[in-house]
């Protein structure tokens, strides 16, 4: 089992969901520092997982790879692994996913 963490990219500040809800239901008011949250993204995770899938597939180290994701950016890695004879099992944890993601796995858990 492996957990891949990428690099955190901070893209300034954004209005928090609680503040946005408060503004839409209670009307206009002055914004405070507590209304803002850091706008952060995790970058590079897809690439790291894709490289892992390719390495495991090429070296024939595994027969099955179970991936927990809902990200359709993984489709090229899934296709590669399946061409190498590795079965891909997907668990998308009940979140909405594109049909294309499900189409390129052997089993949806």
- In the predicted model, is pLDDT for residue 25 greater than 80? yes
What would the two tokens of residue 59 be?
């070296």
Using the predicted structure, report yes or no on whether residue 7 has a pLDDT greater than 80: no
What is the SS3 assignment for 48?
Answer: helix
DSSP state string for 27-41:
------GGGEEEEEE
Does residue 27 have a pLDDT over 90? no
> Coil, strand, or helix at residue 61?
coil
Averaged pLDDT of the chain: 89
Mean pLDDT of all residues in 25-36: 87
Among candidate residues 73, 93, 80, the one with its CA nearest the CA of residue 65: 80
Confidence of residue 94 (pLDDT cuts 50, 70, 90): confident
Token readout for 32 is 């405070």
For residues 47 and 78, the model is more confident at: 78
End-to-end CA distance of the chain: 17
Mean pLDDT value across residues 26-35? 86
Query: Which token pair is 16?
Result: 């928090």
């Amino acid at each position: 089992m492996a957990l891949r963490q990428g690099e955190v990219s901070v893209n300034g500040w954004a209005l928090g969901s609680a503040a946005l809800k408060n503004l839409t239901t209670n009307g206009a008011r002055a914004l405070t520092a507590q209304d803002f949250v850091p706008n952060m993204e995790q970058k590079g995770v897809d690439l790291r997982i894709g490289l892992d899938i390719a390495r495991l597939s090429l070296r024939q180290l595994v027969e099955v790879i179970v991936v927990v994701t809902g990200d359709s950016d993984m489709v090229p890695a899934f296709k590669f692994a399946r061409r190498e004879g590795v079965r891909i099992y997907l668990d998308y944890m009940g979140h909405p996913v594109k049909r294309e993601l499900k189409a390129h796995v052997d089993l949806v858990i």
